[in-house]
Structure formats: structure tokens, C-alpha cells
Chain A
Amino acid sequence: MAERVPVIAGIGLSDYPKAPHLDSIGHHVLAAQRALADCGLKKSEIDGFMCAQGNFAAPDNTGAMAEYLGLNPRFFDGTAVGGSSFELHIQHAAMAIGAGIATSILIVYGSDLYTQSGNNPGFGNREAGSKVPGAAQFESPWGNTLIGGYALAAQRHMYQYGTTSEQLAAISVACRKHAQLNPNAMYRKPLTVQDVVNSRLIADPLHLFDCCVVSDGGGAVIVTTEERARDLRQPPVYILGAAAAHTHWNVSQMPDYTVSGAARSGEEAFAQAGLKPQDVDTVQLYDSFTITAMLMLEDLGFCKKGEGGPFAASGALELGGSLPMNTDGGALSSCHPGMRGIFLLIEATRQLRGQAGEAQVAGAEVALACGSGGTLSAMGTVILGKERK
């Protein structure tokens, strides 16, 4: 069998940040239609399908979405581990394409989270007075919140490394600057470090502006072979490395609150790509909270462990800096409909195609996307390149 090289050929976004005219199925459909139109692949050519709705009773679960879209895939994957699911999908898609199990794979996500629940989706809350099964019975009765879970990591990072709220805030500020270049971003007003640290505490030490937005949105990515992409509309973006690492699920089980699984998934993805952190031109990191992205910067090797604070505060993450991050505005300012991993891949692809408009990183040849699922639990790292390795 000839070498089958996996590439990202098509990308599509549904409408965001607020799209009351779409339900979650509508987001999936619109994103898929736009990704097909982006690359020019026919729907009938899709032979692999991936989606991350873990509840198979939900109307947008993997099987139901394939049916709705009129797909009869021979390879499908419903891996659902939260926000990083789509980075894991890329890992699986690259393997399936390499092995000849599928040739053109559609990965799609969509959610109407904002329309359904507004700014307070209340993830993880248990019904008052209910009996909580499984491991969550050792967390839920005390009332920790989703934000409180990430706060445990931020607090420990501050304790061990002297990281400050101002340094964490620099991540929000960089994302907001980039959001100002994205007409669709949810929040575009200028934001300063002082604005972030003066915003109210939600769960110490995380302030309101350390937290991502709640939005609607959907995205789709089409992965195919280099050969099939040759006569499609867009330049191919090569999947140079894709790796996953899981450390825990419930945050009380996190083995080290200052280190995420990205330390392992990053090392493996870089080894596959034959690249080093200094080869990366732009990063799209999961910024559910500022601490999420800061741990990744360290774990992926862009700075040493414990130096994420000074690194973020140096301005390196802003356009014009050494490592522009979240050039669409990120989850912190642009879009987070519940699982953001697909948007990281789409923005990285836009950068490598040279289609990022005012947010274009000049000469971008290598981009890294890193997703986080659960509570810093299941990490997926994808390295993309303009050229084959």
C-alpha cells in the first residue's frame, strides 16, 4: 500500500458566539456543510465520522448525527472525554487513514450551550438532596464547583512557584487583544491586567476574567489523505504529531496539581513530528481558565515548569511576540460552547493556510493545538505543519 499521509483538508465553523436560530444538531450540520464547501469534497466521499456527544440518548450522539447527516461510515469514533475529544479524534483519524481503514473523515461538534443556559450552565452540579453515585460522592457533597476544580491547580501553582494573579491575567489580556481582531468574538472591549485582577473572585484565586466565556458554536474538520487533497480547494495542512495522555478524571484525584498530562502528550507529539517547542510558530491552547493554558505552556516545554507566570507576562503570547497564542481570542474572549477542542484545530489550520486575516502570524509553518478534557484530566496534543515532515 502506498504511503497514506493524513492532512486536514477542510474546516468549517457554524455561527457563534450567540446563535439562537440553531440547536445543537443545527450547529453540527452547518459546520459540516461549511467544511465540505471549504475543501470541495463531496459528502458521499466521507467514509469516516467522529463526534463527541458522550450521551448516546442525546439527539446529537455519534450514531444519530451520522444518520441525520446521511452518512454510512465504515470507520467511526465517539470518543468523548470533554474538550480535548477532538484532538484525540485527530490522533485516531491519522491512524485510520494511515492504516487504510478510512480515506475522508468528518470530525464535527456543535452546541447551543449559551442559548440553552446563558452564562451559568452549572456544569457538574448535582441536584439538591440527590444521592451521588461513583467517585463524585467524594466531591459533590461539599459543593466544589467546576471553576473551583481549576482553582485548586492555580492555588497550588502560586504556592509552589510564586505565580501571581497578574501573571495569570496576562493570558486573558493576550486573548482579548486577539479577540479584537475577530469580529465574531464574544467579548472585544479592551481588557487590562488590572481589569482582570480587579474583577470579582469566583473561586480563589480565579477571578471572573480568568474564566472562559459561555457561548454557542460548532466546528468541523475534514481529514483525508495528501493524495486526495491534491485537487481539493485548500492547501493541505499536515498532521505531524498527535498524542494523548490521561492522568485522572475527578479533580480530587489529580496526581500533581501543577502538572497536566500535556507533559506526556506533548513529548510524544513532538517526538512523532521530529520537532521541538522552539519550532512552533503559534499555539492554540485550551484556555477554559487562565491556569489551564499556563500549565500547558510549561508542560509542552515552551518554558520551564514554574516559569509560566513570567513567560505569560513577557508578552510572548501576543501577536508580534515569540509564541502568539489563541489568535482567534480563545475561550477566554471568543467562543466556548462547552467543548472547545475543535476550534483549536480550526484556528491552527487557518494560521497555516495563511487565512487568519489580521490575526495572521507571519510565516507560520508549524502550529500546535492542545486540548484539555475533564478537569485537566485527558489531554490531547496535535502538531500541524504547512509542509510534510
Chain B
Amino acid sequence: MTDVTAVPVADRPVPLLDSATRPFWEATKRAELLVQECLECGHRQFYPRSICTVCGAVPGWMTSEGKGVVHTFTVVRQTGAYPFNQWTPYAIAVVELDEGPRMMGGVIGCAVEDVRIGMRVEVEFVSVNDEAALPFWRPSAD
């Protein structure tokens, strides 16, 4: 699944939207990347949940620019799990957003051999159904 322009989506596991995660996934359908920011203490977090992990208050939302840096990554070369076993090798990164929080996602748009820690990436949304588009990450110039 290296250097792809069209990410295969058939039979991927997909998110089950719940009250905490629904706003995030709904935003992905508008090609917007949301993270949470606490209204009380200002802490920013991802994944979305109904509590601020620092102060315990109810977090609000902020829009990320969708840019960040590869904090760490792996290249999955073997998996027994369908449908992913059709797509190896593919790269998975933990991306640190410029706004602070980190999120996991697939890396596309370059050979898996070219993924590096420290590499600048930007988000690309891949629709999987009516409810959600998955954030993937591709190398960016800035």
C-alpha cells in the first residue's frame, strides 16, 4: 500500500461513533481535524473523550491545521488479519500535531522505506462510510 493515491477501504474496521467521538468523526466528513481543548485548564488531548485527562473538567473542541511531525512509526510487513493482509507493507505512524496532541494513522504518498521520525506530514481524509473519514498522513513540504 505504498505510495498510493487511492487508499483501499473495503472491509476495514470502522469507528463506532459514541457521544464523545461523534463530533470528531462528523468533522472528518467536512475534512476538518478536531482535537479537544479543555475549557477550564486549556489542556489539549486526543483521542476525544468526555473528560479532560488533566483537570477532570468537560473538554471543548478546537480545529487542528492538520499538520504535524512523525513522532514514531512502524512498517507492518506481516499480519494475518484480513483485510490488512492484502495491503502489506504499509506504514503506521504516531503523528504529533503542531497543536500538541498525538494521533495514530496510516502514512501514504511515499514509499514505506522513506518514512522517517521527524518527517513533516499533513492530513488527508479517506472516507470509509457515511459517518467517518479516516485521517491518513502524507509527506508535506512545510
**Chain A residues in contact with chain B, CB under 8 A?**
120, 122, 125-135, 137-145, 148, 151-153, 155-156, 159, 200-206, 251-253, 257
Contacts and interface: CB of A to CB of B under 8 A. Distances in A.
Nearest to A117: B80
B43 interface: no
B117 A126 contact: no
Contacts of A128: 11-13, 81-83
8 smallest CB-CB distances across A and B, nearest first, come from: A151-B74, A137-B15, A143-B84, A131-B16, A126-B13, A125-B81, A252-B104, A156-B72
Nearest to B84: A143
Given A128-B83, A138-B103, A142-B134, A201 B77 contact: yes
B74 to A, nearest CB: 4
Given A140-B13, A152-B72, 5 more contacts: A128-B11, A145-B81, A152-B74, A203-B75, A252-B103
Interface in B1-42: 11-16, 18, 21
A152 B134 CA distance: 20
B79 interface: yes
Nearest to A155: B72
A144 B13 contact: no
Contacts of A205: 74
Contact of B74 (A125, A126, A204, A253): A204
B76 interface: yes
Contacts of B18: 133-134
Contacts, number: 123
A53 to B, nearest CB: 24
B94 interface: yes
A133 to B, nearest CB: 4
B76 A148 contact: yes
Contacts of A141: 12-15, 128, 134
Contacts of A140: 13
B123 interface: no
Contacts of A126: 13, 81
Interface of B: 11-16, 18, 21, 46-47, 49, 71-84, 87, 90, 92, 94, 102-106, 112, 117-118, 128, 134, 136
B80 A125 contact: yes
A293 B49 CA distance: 32
A143 B87 contact: yes
Contact of B75 (A201, A251, A253): A201
Contacts of A138: 15, 46-47, 103-104
Residue from B46, B79, B80, B102 having most chain A Cβ neighbours under 10 A:
B79
B12 to A, nearest CB: 5
Nearest to B10: A129
A203 B90 CA distance: 10
Given A132-B16, A148-B92, A202 B78 contact: yes
B21 to A, nearest CB: 7
A122 B72 CA distance: 23
A253 B87 CA distance: 25
Given A129-B12, A137-B15, A143 B75 contact: no
Given A130-B13, A142-B134, A122 B81 contact: yes
A142 B79 CA distance: 12
A204 B116 CA distance: 12
Given A129-B11, A132-B13, A133-B16, A144 B81 contact: no
Contact of A131 (B14, B82, B90): B14
A261 to B, nearest CB: 16
12 contacts: A125-B79, A129-B13, A132-B13, A135-B49, A138-B104, A141-B14, A145-B79, A152-B94, A159-B72, A200-B78, A203-B75, A253-B47
